[in-house]
Chains A and B, each alone.
Chain A
Amino acid sequence: MSKNVENSWAFYISGRQIQLYQVAYSSSAAEGVIRVPEFSSEAKLIYPNETIAEGLMFQGTAFIEPFVDIEPNELTGAGAMPVTTEVADPDETSHVNLNRMLTLACVDYVQAMLEDRKGDIAKKEYYIKEFYSKLADSESNKRRNIMTFPVSPYALR
């Protein structure tokens, strides 16, 4: 049974793989141990010593349905949310599965690559700047930040 896993397991990323270790705090496993500076001198790393079904979970960003069959940013005729299906082999009629601002950013990216191919680096830089500007706009659209600053008692108002 695995318990206290947040303190007794650790991973190291090596290329396209992770190396999964268990931390052995007892000194009995003195033979065949792997030491790392992150842990105290008493801690030693060993290979996983138990089998856990669905035991390892990765969380991250991914290519999840980059192209879909219908427009993902428009409600259907009845005002319902669109139900999209992934298009595995995209063509000209496929829709990009991003919000409107990020799709406009994609337009800038394609434009930048076209300018790059022409050899016009100044225009490429301009479109790349527009690309990142739209990424930032899309991100700031998701949150409403309020910034407050303390006012000095002797400040001119």
Chain B
Amino acid sequence: MTVQEIMERTGTNETGLVIAWIKDSIHLIQSTYNENIGTWSTAITDGTRDYPIPANLIKVMSISVLDTQDKQYKRIRRIVHQPTITKDNDPE
């Protein structure tokens, strides 16, 4: 279905606004159901703690780390509570 068909069905002629609302609805769909799943990978750097979540990722399903011994990505645990930093001088 084209954007124009959606505009005709809803009786509006504001293209930009309809495209924005379609994007909103896709965002809502992707937040509710696992409709379109993707994977992104990035390098882990020695001594670096923070890694950005990919820009177009909507709902995080899992985060995995490469097990270089088994050559497989394995899901890692999520920490629910904010870690309490007792002394953080770049601990390694």
A and B associate in one complex = yes
Interface, chain A (partner B; CB < 8 A)? 1-7, 9-14, 16-21, 29, 31-38, 45-64, 66-67, 71, 90-96, 98, 100, 102-103, 105-107, 109-111, 113-114, 131-132, 135, 138-139
A25 to B71 CA separation, bound complex (whole angstroms) = 23
CB contacts (< 8 Å) of A60 on chain B: these are 37-38, 57-62
- Whether A19 lies near B50 (C-beta < 8 A) is yes
What mask results when residues 72 to 84 of chain B are scored 1 for a CB within 8 Å of chain A, else 0?
Answer: 0111111111111
CB contacts (< 8 Å) of B43 on chain A: these are 51-56
Residues of A contacting B: mostly: mixed
- Whether B79 lies near A16 (C-beta < 8 A) is no
Q: How many residues of B contact A (CB 8 A)?
A: 82
- Whether B51 lies near A3 (C-beta < 8 A) is no
A29 to B37 CA separation, bound complex (whole angstroms) = 39
The answer to whether A5 and B1 touch (CB under 8 A), given A55-B44, A61-B36, A110-B21, is no
Show 29 residue pairs from A and B whose CB-CB distance is below 8 angstroms, ordered by the A residue: A1-B69, A12-B82, A13-B60, A17-B50, A17-B52, A18-B51, A19-B50, A20-B48, A31-B91, A38-B79, A46-B92, A48-B46, A48-B47, A51-B44, A52-B68, A56-B42, A56-B43, A57-B64, A58-B63, A61-B35, A61-B57, A62-B36, A93-B4, A94-B3, A96-B3, A102-B29, A110-B6, A110-B21, A139-B33
